[in-house]
């Protein structure tokens, strides 16, 4: 039974590696709203420019065609008559059908105001301020009681203990990572 699980894990790892070259750029694009807007605008302008060249149209006519076609309104006042022009139109339509709703989702997500999250953030900020104040008062009191040298020695001991604890926590987290986890490039999202 363990061999079957290992085979399944290996198949999952292989599939993750094969699809990684597709999923990583898509995840990056979907999670980068500014880049997404640039890609939408770039696709629209590029397809409009290619349409102008293929169909012998002016820049204003081709940009209008790009807006009408990309938004899938399709007035019919301009349309490609060549096969290559139709292919450019198809690319524009499909890319806009995929990318524009994602961009709209980002806009809507930024317009939604979550009162509960704001309340939690405000309480957490207050708690952090109180902890900072308590830490400052405690350190001042300990320094007054025992002296600066004693306090610095104890702080160094606590920093060393915290560093050791952090290493253990990171080791525990590493144990739970999937064995076939494909690493994202630096700065990428997961």
Q: What is the pLDDT of residue 65?
A: 93
Residues 120 and 94 in one domain: no
Return the CA Rg of the chain: 28
Q: What are the tens digits of pLDDT across the range 81-125? A: 999 999 999 999 999 999 999 989 888 888 887 778 888 888 999
Q: What are the tens digits of pLDDT across the range 28-38? A: 888 888 899 99
Kindly give the residue spans of alpha helices, DSSP state H, lying in 56-82: 59-70
User: Within 13 Å, how many C-alpha atoms sit on residue 138's CB side?
Assistant: 8
What's the whole-model pTM score?
Answer: 0.52
Say if 184 falls within a structural domain. no
Number of domains in the chain: 2
The CATH code of the domain that includes 83 is 1.10.287.70
SS3 category, 102: helix
Residues 22 and 90 in one domain: yes
When pLDDT is averaged across residues 165-189 and rounded to a whole number, the result is 61
Residues 15 and 66 in one domain: yes
**Which among 83, 77, 50 has a CA at the least distance from the CA of 64?**
77
Say if 186 falls within a structural domain. no
Residues 13 and 50 in one domain: yes
């Amino acid at each position: 039974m363990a061999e079957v699980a290992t085979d399944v894990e290996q198949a999952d790892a292989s599939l993750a590696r094969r699809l990684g070259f597709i999923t990583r750029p898509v995840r990056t694009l979907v999670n980068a709203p500014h880049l997404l807007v640039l890609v939408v605008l770039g696709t629209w302008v590029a397809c409009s420019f290619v349409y102008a060249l293929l169909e012998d149209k002016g820049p204003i006519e081709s940009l209008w065609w790009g807006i009408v076609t990309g938004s899938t309104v399709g007035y019919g006042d301009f349309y490609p008559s060549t096969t290559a022009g139709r292919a450019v139109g198809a690319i524009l339509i499909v890319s806009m059908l995929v990318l524009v709703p994602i961009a709209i989702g980002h806009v809507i997500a930024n317009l939604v105001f979550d009162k509960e999250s704001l309340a939690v953030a405000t309480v957490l900020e207050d708690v952090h301020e109180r902890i900072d104040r308590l830490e400052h008062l405690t350190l001042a009191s300990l320094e007054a009681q025992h002296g600066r040298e004693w306090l610095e020695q104890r702080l160094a001991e606590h920093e060393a203990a915290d560093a050791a604890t952090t290493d253990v926590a990171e080791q525990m987290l590493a144990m739970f990572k999937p064995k076939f986890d494909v690493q994202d490039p630096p700065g990428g999202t997961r």
